[in-house]
Amino acid sequence: MKLKNEELLALNMTVFDMKEKPIKGALKFKVFKLAKELPLLLEPLQEVLEDEKDKKMIEEIMKEEQDVSLPTFTQKELEDVELSISDLFAFEKLIQEEV
């Protein structure tokens, strides 16, 4: 799947906040996997952003897409987890439509 750098950063912040929430069943292992993978994906981006001073360049970098392989979630899996609307926006591309 393709995600913009800004989407990956938002997702990382949301997952970081979820670490302290009680999560039941197999979902906790998917969130755990995501919490381990995201910082590794973002490490090169954070290094580039630390060195960049030009605001326009930073905006362009944040809009760039990365092709990533991350776990996906169903709405049913997430329904028992307390998530804000902002959290759902962060998870949006990882949520599979249920048939």
Q: What is the mean pLDDT of residues 76-94?
A: 91
Count the Cβ atoms, other than its own, within 10 Å of residue 81: 17
Phi, psi of 65 (to 5 degrees): -100, 150
Q: What is the pLDDT of residue 99?
A: 63
pLDDT tens digit sequence for 36-75: 999 999 999 999 999 888 999 999 999 999 999 999 999 9
- Which range marks the domain in which residue 6 is found? 2-96
> Which residues sit opposite 33 in a β-bridge?
none
What is the spatial distance between Cα 25 and Cα 1, in angstroms, rounded to a whole number?
25
Q: How many domains does the chain have?
A: 1
3-state secondary structure 3-52: EEHHHHHHHHHHHHHHCCCCCCCCHHHHHHHHHHHHHHHHHHHHHHHHHC
Q: At residue 98, does pLDDT exceed 80?
A: no
pLDDT at 13 over 90: yes
